Amino acid sequence: MVDNGSGAEVMYPNLYRGLRLKPKDLMPYGSPLMSFDGKLVVLKGMIRLPIQTGPEIVEVNFIVVDTYSPYIAIVGRPWLHILGAVASSLYQKVKFPSGDQVLEIRGCQSMARQCMVAAISHRLNAKSSASAETSL
């Protein structure tokens, strides 16, 4: 997910495990991070990784978190600024200069819908679980 409002790149557990990263690979990260619902997120640490975007490879610091998300990662302003990119949430595209051309990354609307449905379902399940626990 590309989030123009995010001041950090965030990596979620599925990507962390998929890359076979270990706690020893992480650097300490002490600043608090808030989730979309305003709660503090459990941080595992930070890791600097290369991201290849077309022919461009840029090093990006990811904050690794231990919380649910339908996304595997969120890239924000630092990544966009390094690339000199412009993101459009309306068109689900990111455009950036590369040499003498402008390259484009297109999002997938069906995948975006699936992520939104998963996030809403997870939130509803969490609320109903919490309600069931308080009624016991």
Domain spans of the chain, in order of start:
9-107
Report the percentage of the chain scoring pLDDT > 70.
81
Please check whether residue 26 is in contact with residue 64, taking contact to mean a CB–CB distance below 8 angstroms.
yes
Report pLDDT digits (tens) over 76-94. 888 899 889 998 888 888 9
Q: What is the CA radius of gyration of the chain?
A: 17
What's the whole-model pTM score? 0.75
Indicate the pLDDT class of residue 49, thresholds 50, 70 and 90: very high
| Most confident by average pLDDT, 1-5, 22-26, 28-32, 113-117 | 22-26
Give the C-alpha separation, 70 to 82, whole Å: 26
Indicate the pLDDT class of residue 67, thresholds 50, 70 and 90: confident
Please check whether residue 40 is in contact with residue 33, taking contact to mean a CB–CB distance below 8 angstroms.
yes
Contacts 24+ apart (CB under 8 A), 81-87: 82/58, 83/53, 83/56, 83/58, 87/2, 87/4
